[in-house]
Structure formats: C-alpha cells, structure tokens
A and B are shown apart, each in its own frame.
Chain A
Amino acid sequence: MMKTEQLQKKESGSRKDGYVRIYLTCYNLFQFLGYFYVIGVMLSRYAKFGNESLSNVYENVGSTMKLLQLLQFLEVVHPILGFTRGDALIPFVQIFGRMVVLFMNIDVEPRIQTQPVVFFLFFVWSLIETVRYPFYITQIHKKEVFLIKWLRYNLWIPLYPSGFLCEYLIIAHNIPHFEHSKRLTVSLPNSWNFAFHMPTFSRVHIFVLVCAGLFLMKHMYALRKAKLNPKVESKKLK
C-alpha cells in the first residue's frame, strides 16, 4: 500500500496533497464560473439588443475579463510552487500575451473597444476557458468525462485560429493609433535609461503571435492524437 502511494507520488511528480487539490479545484471552478458568466452576459445581451450589443461589450464585461485575466497569472505561479506539473514558461508566454492584448491594446484604446472584433475575441477566449477549466478539474480528481475531454481536444481546432486572428486584427488595427498618439511609448532621455516604442513592440508581438500560435496548435494536435486515438490508447494499456 505504502509503496503504491509512493509510486503514485513519484509518477505525478508534484505534491497534490489535500489542501492543494481543494485550492486548485476552487481556483478552476471560480475561473470557469467567471468565463461562463461572461458568455451568459454576452449571449443574453445579443439576444436582447442584437448587433447593437457587439459595440458595447467592453463596457459590459470588460472589467470582469480584466479581473479573470489578472487571476490567470496564478497559473504561472502554480508550476513554480509545484502545485501543477510542467514548466512555468509556456503559461507565462500565453498569459502575458493575452494580458498585452487586453490591457495594452484594448483597455487603453477606446477606439478599438467598440469594434465587433472585441466581441468575437471575448467570445472565443471565454469558450476556450469554459472547456479548459472543467477539464482541469476532472484531471485534478483523476476522473475522465468523455464529453469534456472530447471538447478539450477538438474545440481548439476552430477556436484557437479564430482567437489568434482576432488578436492579430486588434494589434494591427492599433498600430497607427499608437504611432499617432504616442500612448505607452517611453522615449529617452530619462534617468532609468529605458526606452519603449509601442508600435515596434506591437510588430514584434505580431511576429511572436504567429510563431507561438503555430507552436501551440502543433502541440494541441499532438496531444489530440495521443489522447483521442483509440489505437494509441489500447497500445498503452498493453
């Protein structure tokens, strides 16, 4: 008995003891409810006001999205503390990228906030998360719910590319605004010798977005093949 327990601990490679498991369940549940709420508000407003609701989505769910996005930073901290398996770098890049889109592109530029692209971006992000978080909860408790698993490994196929496209459109649309307004741009001379040129940053961001997007989809494709293919599954069991 002791031995199998030790083995399990070794295999999972992390100390998912009781408290951590409860905490992670709460965190994932909170995030799930948060994004579920966002989808609910967006859909009910769309049902009520039609296309008009596309332009004031930021007014309605912007602050909720900002809160949920900030909380997501905990997902970078979890692997560092050993709460979850894996590397902190990949979640850092992903979450930092979304933070830049949300806080440095949408939040500071009222002219983009009323564009329908923000509606689509929030919708895609929220849909991804309402599948991802329940999936994590099932994983924490080592349960398998086929529907959740199936959604997790299939829904990204339409959602990831649409999400990246929305992010690209927002960043690209903002570059001329930033060129003109000089918002977020810091120029030399200053006492900490720090220069930051937002339009250049945005161009680099687009480049990284393309690379990271391709990498992420390749990664999901490999996972999908490994997790949903019954042949591989049966081979593993042997």
Chain B
Amino acid sequence: MEIEILSASGSKPLGKIQLKEDATVQDVKDKIYRNLKKSLYPDRQAVKLEAKGKTLKDEESLKSLNVQNGAKLYVKDLGPQISWKNVFLAEYAGPLFVYLWVYQRPWLVYGSQSSSPGTVASVAAICWSGHYAKRLLETLFVHRFSHGTMPLRNLFRNCGYYWLFTLYVAYHINHPLYTPPSDTWFYVGLTGFVLCELGNLSIHILLKNLRPPGTKVRRIPVPDGNPFSSLFNFVSCPNYTYEFGSWLFFTIMTKCAPAGLFAAAGFYQMAVWAIGKHRNYKKEFPDYPKGRKAILPFIL
C-alpha cells in the first residue's frame, strides 16, 4: 500500500512510501530513512497519526492503527540522537576521574599544598569512585536498555550535572581544612553506604533478569531470594531508594553539607522518575500490589 509522509512541523509533504500490508511503524521509519530523507535515521524519527498527535510505538502495526492505502502519516525530527549507553558511560566516567583528581589536592584547586587527605577523606574517595566504577560496570554488563537513544543535548545536561556536582562535593571533602566527624558518624555512615550499594546492585541484577535478552517484555518485579530485594514489597523503585540511601549515608560519613545537597538534588530527580514509573506500573498491570509506594516506603 502507499502512504503519504508529511513533516509534523508545518505539514510539508516529504513524499510517498510503498509498504506491505503487515507493515509496522518500524517499517515506516526504515522506509522514510531509506527512500525519503537520509538524514532522518529511524531513531531520530517520531511517527504520528496527526501533526500534534501522540508518538506511535515501533511495534504497532499499521493495520491495528487503521492506516490504509492512501493514508497520511506525520514524521517529526527529534534532533541528533545518542545511545543511552554512551550517555551513561560519559556521565559516570566524569565523577570517577574528577573526584580522584581533586583527591590529589591539585594546585589548580587548592594552590600549593604539601599535606595529603586524612583517613575519612581517603575512605570517602574509595566510596565515591567505587560507586561510579560500579555504575560504569553495570552500564556495560548489567543494564538492558528498552529505549535506544536520547537527544544529543541531554549528554551535555547530564554530564554538566554529574561532573560539576562531583567537583563541588570533592572540593569540600578533600580540602586541607576539612574537619572529619566523630568515629560514630564515620562508622554509621560507612556501614549504611556499603549496605545501600549492595542493595542497589541487587536490584539492578533483579531488573536485568526480569527482562529476557533481546526483548521489551515488562513484568511486575517481585523479590527474589536476595534479602535486599524484599524492599520491592514496599516501593516500586527500590534501586532509587538505595541510591538515595547511599548518598545520605555518605553525607553522614563525611559530615559534609555539600554532599547532602547532592543527595537532596538526586532524591528530587529520582522521586520524579519513581513516581512516573510507579504510575506506569499501576496503569499497565491491573493486579499491581496495592501497598507499594514509589520511592519511600509508606510515604511517597
């Protein structure tokens, strides 16, 4: 069948494409890319039924959408895209290197210094870089991304957030005039941090196993044998709960207010994401467990 393609901005006609009867939205994107506009690779396109309508999913078939011979479809240019994996690698590599660089007490940051950071600052450096090393490894070996790409400008926004916040926190903890807290603060914080990191890793592995390789299947996550995963009985996104816990305990361990600001900013963003995911779960699964909250057990 023949379909006319128009651009969503301004409704300019781009041309016509020939498709088989059982074609999906993905096939439409491929055809637009190959026959009409070489600059619009499939990930860069959003295909819609109307110029300002909803974006159609790749796996939807034209038949189910009632698109027949001679119909019109609109395509929107989403701008240059970059894969999630590359964004993750760039945004997490920064904190690792920036923190370890500031830990050396470089002249550029502190002027000429002869002293070196104390025990608490050294443990903090291990925790911080351990966390981001873990995230890099997870990005490479654990995460399965259901969306392929995101707009390129997100790369700059995300990297700016992580890199600058790292510089800000590291500046205070590695400062020659840094005051370490009492032993109680240090040990409570360190224990909490390590437990939360283990919890976070457990959840990421559980989520990976939830989705069979190469598919976009979605299921309700439930605790497996791992005790850390029992947090799923209380919240929809325990990985975010653990992540926030990590930074809260890191703040306690170092008794550093800027680290607390980082924890608060991260919490706000993760709460927004968690509420969105929680809502999607409830919408998608009618039998979704009632007692679960989004990110904080019993509260939010």
CB < 8 Å: which of B178, B181, B254, B255 contacts A188?
Answer: B178
Chain B contact residue count (CB 8 A cutoff): 13
Assembled-state Cα–Cα distance A130/B27 (Å) = 53
Q: Is B108 an interface residue (CB 8 A)?
A: no
What per-residue 1/0 map shows which CB atoms of A178-209 lie under 8 Å from chain B?
00000000001111111100000000000000
Assembled-state Cα–Cα distance A28/B284 (Å) = 38
Q: Which one of B39-47, B92-100, B141-149, B169-177 contacts A?
A: B169-177
| Minimum distance in angstroms from A85 CB to a CB of chain B | 15
Q: Is B256 an interface residue (CB 8 A)?
A: yes
Closest-by-CB residue of B relative to A192 is B257
Assembled-state Cα–Cα distance A194/B175 (Å) = 10
- A residues less than 8 Å from B175 (CB atoms): 188, 193, 195
CB < 8 Å: which of A190, A193, A195 contacts B254?
Answer: A193
| Minimum distance in angstroms from B194 CB to a CB of chain A | 21
Q: Looking at chain A, what size class is its interface with the partner chain?
A: under 10
Query: Taking chain A's interface residues, is the majority helix, strand, or loop, or is none over half, making it mixed?
Result: loop
Closest-by-CB residue of A relative to B178 is A193
Assembled-state Cα–Cα distance A140/B172 (Å) = 46
Contact call B178/A192, Cβ cutoff below 8 A: no
| Minimum distance in angstroms from B276 CB to a CB of chain A | 13
Assembled-state Cα–Cα distance A194/B172 (Å) = 7
CB < 8 Å: which of B173, B178, B254, B258 contacts A189?
Answer: B178
What per-residue 1/0 map shows which CB atoms of B132-175 lie under 8 Å from chain A?
00000000000000000000000000000000000000011101
Using A188-B179, A190-B179 as known contacts, list a sample of 11 further A-B pairs with CB atoms less than 8 Å apart, ordered by residue number in A: A188-B175, A188-B177, A189-B179, A191-B255, A193-B255, A193-B258, A194-B256, A194-B257, A195-B171, A195-B172, A195-B175
Contact call A194/B177, Cβ cutoff below 8 A: no
What per-residue 1/0 map shows which CB atoms of A121-143 lie under 8 Å from chain B?
00000000000000000000000
Contact call B177/A192, Cβ cutoff below 8 A: no
- B residues less than 8 Å from A193 (CB atoms): 172-173, 175, 178-179, 254-258
- B residues less than 8 Å from A194 (CB atoms): 172, 256-258
- B residues less than 8 Å from A189 (CB atoms): 177-179
- A residues less than 8 Å from B257 (CB atoms): 192-194
25 A-B contacts (beta carbon < 8 Å): A188-B172, A188-B179, A189-B178, A189-B179, A191-B179, A191-B181, A191-B255, A192-B255, A192-B256, A192-B257, A193-B172, A193-B173, A193-B175, A193-B179, A193-B254, A193-B255, A193-B256, A193-B257, A193-B258, A194-B256, A194-B257, A194-B258, A195-B171, A195-B172, A195-B175
Nearest 5 A-B pairs (CB), nearest first?
A: A188-B177, A194-B257, A193-B256, A189-B177, A192-B257
| Minimum distance in angstroms from A68 CB to a CB of chain B | 26
What per-residue 1/0 map shows which CB atoms of A192-229 lie under 8 Å from chain B?
11110000000000000000000000000000000000
Assembled-state Cα–Cα distance A192/B172 (Å) = 10
- B residues less than 8 Å from A190 (CB atoms): 179
| Minimum distance in angstroms from B274 CB to a CB of chain A | 14
Closest-by-CB residue of A relative to B171 is A195
User: Would you list which residues of chain B between 254 and 269 have a CB under 8 Å from chain A?
Assistant: 254-258
Closest-by-CB residue of A relative to B169 is A193
- B residues less than 8 Å from A188 (CB atoms): 172, 175, 177-179
- A residues less than 8 Å from B178 (CB atoms): 188-189, 193
| Minimum distance in angstroms from A190 CB to a CB of chain B | 7
Assembled-state Cα–Cα distance A190/B179 (Å) = 7
Assembled-state Cα–Cα distance A136/B43 (Å) = 38
Assembled-state Cα–Cα distance A189/B256 (Å) = 11
What per-residue 1/0 map shows which CB atoms of A151-171 lie under 8 Å from chain B?
000000000000000000000
| Minimum distance in angstroms from A212 CB to a CB of chain B | 14
- A residues less than 8 Å from B258 (CB atoms): 193-194
Assembled-state Cα–Cα distance A234/B249 (Å) = 57
| Minimum distance in angstroms from B176 CB to a CB of chain A | 8
Name which of A192, A193, A194, A195 has the most chain B CB atoms within 10 A of its CB: A193
| Minimum distance in angstroms from B153 CB to a CB of chain A | 13
- A residues less than 8 Å from B177 (CB atoms): 188-189
Closest-by-CB residue of A relative to B261 is A194
Assembled-state Cα–Cα distance A189/B178 (Å) = 6
